[in-house]
Structure 1
Amino acid sequence: MEAKGFHYSRPYNRYNGEREMLFYLPSVKYANYLNELPQLKDMDGRKRVEMGISFDKNYTVEQIKAMLPPGVHPVWYWVDTYSNMKPYIASKMPDGSVVDPFPDWASSVYGFGVHPDRNDVSEKDFLSALEYGVHHNRKYKQEFKRIYDYLRKDKEQPETSDVRLFGVVVTGTAESLKALQGQPYVKAAVMGATVDR
């Protein structure tokens, strides 16, 4: 990555050694975008792959399901919870150099995903979890409230239309995920865990 001009390195999970996904905000200009879709052609097509897709703009769950190619399974949706965009503005240092924004690690973004016992998920699932956290979570109550207030704006409570999705984690075989190559909605594609069938 350094040879290609990246000013950040690839994170790995410290417990299992698997790659950690990175996410890129659609409205932020990054110096470099990681796109690991071309690496799929060098993999055994039967390998199971997890990949974080950062979008060019926000979408709904239904839009995402409709635009993903067959064999590409959405399992987790990345939600816009960014009430403070200041950390994502390039900063000029005293020596005149510019520090560009970094993408977010998977461990620092919020979203919701599929449940093993049901296939149907929606923005309502995120709002339900958020509502529960605002009223029942003591440790992270302020963070739940910050997100809740950001989504609801000047309304009494947020609505499903206030939940905007900036990306998705998909799974599939290396062969099926190749269909994401060249899709106009893909701003970045970062691999996570890969396993044999």
Structure 2
Amino acid sequence: MNKEENEFLFDDRQTKKIMRKARFWSTVKMIGITLVVTPIVLIALWYGLRALSLNSAQKVMDDIHLFNEISAPNVQISNQVYDDHLLGGKITTTTYKVLGDQHRPYIWQPIKSDYNLFGTLTRTAISSPIQIEGSESLAETSQFERFNDYTGDREMFFYHPRISYDHYQDNISELHQLEKNTLVEIAISFDDAYDFGEIKSKLPSEVQVDWWWVDAYTDDTLDFFKQGQNTISANDPYIYGFQSEQSKPKPRRSSIDEVATFIRNIELLRKSKNFEWETNQVYQALVGGNGTLEKSDVKISGAVVTGTPEQLQSLQGQTYIKGSIFGVISNQK
């Protein structure tokens, strides 16, 4: 092997050594960059997902609150808490009822909901009332006594004015049997669907209305109810209405219109992916021939009233009341 061949082999070994060294330090450099950058990326991703989850929780809580405003007879929200994780979380909504003109709160059942990362409700726990069977006749199959499975209190129900029932309960006539210091909740069903102003003028001034039941049912839905003379339970998912200003400890400004607020809440929920189907059903049932939901389209079929037996006694004999059902009866005044 001549001198030139030796120099060539030496240069080749030297080149490979340099390349191996360069690759080693390049690998070390990449590992170092990865070790530095990866935690930063993971932290940024964690904060991003957490912010998205928190925003989703707030959005879902707002939707639950709005839906409660157009449903849930005499049920108000006291607090909402969430337990979030990176892919969603759980929301617990605590509720109460208002009893009487002193606005005594009566603790009601909580609502437990799950939501995903994108602010969509994935599950809401709906309790089933305890049902006590009485008469087996067809007319009363939907009028069994129902009790809340969380509090043990009576569950109210309503009679729809466009359904003819063979039997109507009249719990107003039983008010005299209650003690004077009792606070009672009653679901009253009217003989027709009235304009809001008209029915307000009919009710005695000493009676506190806490919730107004809106006639928000399509003809198809009512045809189904008529087949079994079905009543409308207060805990049904398809009962709609709005809270009365009388139920507020501090009434809002007089310029706030209850029916206009009800319509506004429906419009807001129609834009949300949560409760979109329910509010679209309400909208379609209420909207007039001009395709726009207006105050004149909202008719009142019943109400929830609360107070002492003496305060509610004035409802006795009112001809526009077809039926009345006790709800909560509390001796803690």
Q: What range describes the TM-score normalised by the shorter chain of this pair?
A: 0.7 to 0.9
Q: Distance in 2 between matches of 1:62 and 1:4?
A: 39
Q: Which residue of 1 aligns with 2:155?
A: 20
The one of 74, 88, 100 equivalent to 2:225 is 88
Structure 1 or 2, whichever has the larger Rg, is: 2
1:70 positional shift? 3.1
The letter for the 2-side match of 1:125 is T
Indicate the SS of the match to 1:11: strand
Q: Which residue of 1 aligns with 2:43?
A: none
Unpaired segments of 5 or more residues in structure 2?
Answer: 1-132
The letter for the 1-side match of 2:184 is V
Q: Distance in 1 between matches of 2:275 and 2:135?
A: 40
- Answer 1 or 2: which has greater helix percent: 2
Q: Which residue of 2 aligns with 1:182?
A: 317
After TM superposition, the score normalised by the length of structure 1 is: 0.87
Q: Distance in 2 between matches of 1:23 and 1:129?
A: 23
Indicate the SS of the match to 1:38: helix
Encode CA deviations 1:59-93: one digit per residue, 9 max, x unaligned: 23322222112321011000111112221223xxx
Whether contact under 8 Å (1:23, 1:167) holds in the other structure is yes
Q: Pairwise mapping of residues 53-132 of structure 1 onto structure 2 (< 5 A)?
A: 53-83=188-218, 84-90=221-227, 100-108=228-236, 109-114=239-244, 116=248, 117-118=250-251, 121-132=257-268
Moved more, 154-163 or 59-68: 59-68
Unpaired segments of 5 or more residues in structure 1?
Answer: 91-99
Structure of higher RCO (CA pairs closer than 8 Å, 6+ residues apart): 1
Whether contact under 8 Å (1:46, 1:175) holds in the other structure is no
1:156 positional shift? 3.4
Q: Distance in 2 between matches of 1:61 and 1:128?
A: 16
Q: How many residues align?
A: 187
After TM superposition, the score normalised by the length of structure 2 is: 0.53
The one of 269, 286, 296 equivalent to 1:161 is 296
Q: Distance in 1 between matches of 2:229 and 2:290?
A: 31
Indicate the SS of the match to 1:18: coil
Verify: 1:33 aligned to 2:159, yes or no: no
1:24 positional shift? 0.4
1:61–1:46 Cα change, 3 Å: farther
Q: Pairwise mapping of residues 132-143 of structure 1 onto structure 2 (< 5 A)?
A: 132-136=268-272, 138-143=273-278
Whether contact under 8 Å (1:53, 1:190) holds in the other structure is yes
C-alpha RMSD of the superposition: 1.9
Q: Distance in 2 between matches of 1:21 and 1:104?
A: 9
Q: Which residue of 2 aligns with 1:46?
A: 181
Q: Which residue of 1 aligns with 2:21?
A: none
Q: Distance in 2 between matches of 1:46 and 1:70?
A: 20
Q: Distance in 2 between matches of 1:133 and 1:181?
A: 38
Q: Distance in 2 between matches of 1:140 and 1:70?
A: 35
1:44–1:4 Cα change, 3 Å: farther
Q: Distance in 2 between matches of 1:172 and 1:61?
A: 21
Q: Distance in 2 between matches of 1:127 and 1:37?
A: 31
1:51 positional shift? 0.6
